Amino acid sequence: MILALESSTPWLGIALVEGKEVLFHVVHHTQASHSLLLVEYLKAIREQFDLERKLELIAVGLGPGSFTGVKVGNIIAKGLAYALGVPLAGFSTLEIMASRVLRTFGDLRVIVPVIVHRKGEMFWSEFKGCDENFLPPLSLQIGSWEEFTSRYRERPDILVATPWQNLVGSLEEAGISCVDPSIAVPDALELVRLCREKGAMGDFENIFTMVPLYGSKVFER
């Protein structure tokens, strides 16, 4: 079994997969209840499934995104991995978003996943699909709406992925191509697929050493 948690954005995602069977999968839009909802969903999972005996890996979205959401998801993932004695793996939330777009479109353009931060910042990176694998992404970028649009306006090689519907409308008005917002939601099931495709089956040491990607300039220091 693989348990995946993603709580970096308002779209809380949880997935439990055994082999090819999806045992539990939810995407829950929430603004400020990540900790409460995540705990309740995990309670329901532990009541229904034998995690203590069958769980092989916990995977978590590392961010960037909401400071609280990223922190809650990573703390719970690390606590569970430690308690159950299983390895822990993590992927950038931006890569989770980009992976889903690539899987849907098979598009070899540069995919730019974007996460909105409440301090007025935008987080993004660049990924390019090649033979179903990603070339190394551009490092995490942080900037304003103005910085982002001036960089990507009228770029036909760019395909932006963001689940924020209002942002998609504004970007398209600015001449930037976007995917449907529903495809850009950072889904925990995509996190499971990434772990398997990349052979990233985690490490117990990650519980102590893995660092979340808070991203924001506000929290840099």
The CATH class of the 93-184 domain is alpha beta
* Helices of type H across the chain: 34-48, 51-54, 67-84, 93-105, 145-152, 165-173, 188-197, 206-209
Q: How many CB atoms lie within 10 A of CB 27?
A: 17
Mean pLDDT score of the chain, rounded to an integer? 90
Q: Where in the chain is the domain with CATH 3.30.420.40?
A: 2-92+186-219, 93-184
SS3 169: helix
CATH architecture of 2-92+186-219: 2-Layer Sandwich (3.30)
pLDDT value of residue 111: 92
Q: At 84, list the tokens.
A: 């159950």
Over the stretch 1-13, which tens digit does the pLDDT of each residue have? 999 999 999 999 9
pLDDT value of residue 219: 40
